[in-house]
Amino acid sequence: MVLDHFGLEKALLVAHSIGGQIAIDFALTYPERVSKLTLIACSVTGFRSAPDIEERFQRVLSAAPDVEKMTEFSLDFPSYDVVKASPHQAFMYEMIRHNIMRWFDWKSSESVWPQPPAIERLDRLAAPTLFMIGTLDRPDLFPMSEQFGQLPNANLVCIDGADHMPMLTHPDEVSHTILQFLEE
């Protein structure tokens, strides 16, 4: 484990999107190793995306191995509209493209997650948690994000006018919110 390699007992985890899913499962599996958890625009394992989102994901996958087409389809999600209209559009394109190319390096596209899925165990999340989501992110994520807002150790923060990439389009608000959470 990385924490053991660096001689760390605990870590504060800050994660975005699928990284947030990984961080949540880590925090549920190793609660004694996580001091605080900051999640940005993520869902949880076991969460079912809305049918239109699933169709969009399938459209991306069906374009394989055409990386450019897969990147184009990935950015076609409405949850990227704000970042696509920002000065970070080219960076976002390159980041998505890079991630898709990495996907081809993996032996399988199948994800293996701990069981039961995190969505069934959220009430066991022990670490103080900050959950941030943009008001213009995927609508199907809001009911799940509200579950975080109901947890006794969690704070839910909605970033007005942000999509799935608030770190790029609203960096001051994101960093201020994280620093405030860390100081608590």
Whether 71 shows a pLDDT value over 90: the answer reads: yes
Q: What is the pLDDT of residue 107?
A: 58
Whether 69 shows a pLDDT value over 70: the answer reads: yes
Q: What is the pLDDT of residue 1?
A: 77
Separation in Å, CA 184 to CA 77, 101, 128, 130: 35, 39, 10, 11
Same domain for 131 and 43: yes
Question: Structural domain of residue 159, as residue ranges?
Answer: 2-47+115-183
Q: How many domains does the chain have?
A: 2
Q: Note the pLDDT tens digit of each residue in 26-41.
A: 999 999 999 999 999 9
**Given pLDDT bands bounded at 50, 70 and 90, which one contains residue 2?**
confident
- The answer to whether 69 touches 63, Cβ cutoff 8 Å, is yes
Q: Note the pLDDT tens digit of each residue in 111-144.
A: 778 889 999 999 999 999 999 999 999 998 998 8
Residue 6, domain CATH = 3.40.50.1820
Pick from 76, 51, 82, 52: which is nearest to 63 by CA?
76
- Can you read off the two tokens belonging to residue 107? 């032996």
Q: What is the pLDDT of residue 109?
A: 59
- Across 68-141, the runs of DSSP E, i.e. the strands, are 129-134
Same domain for 14 and 55: no
Segment 143-150 shows an average pLDDT of 86
| Domain final position from 79, 105, 131 | 105
Provide the CA 60 distance to its chain's centre, in angstroms.
Answer: 18
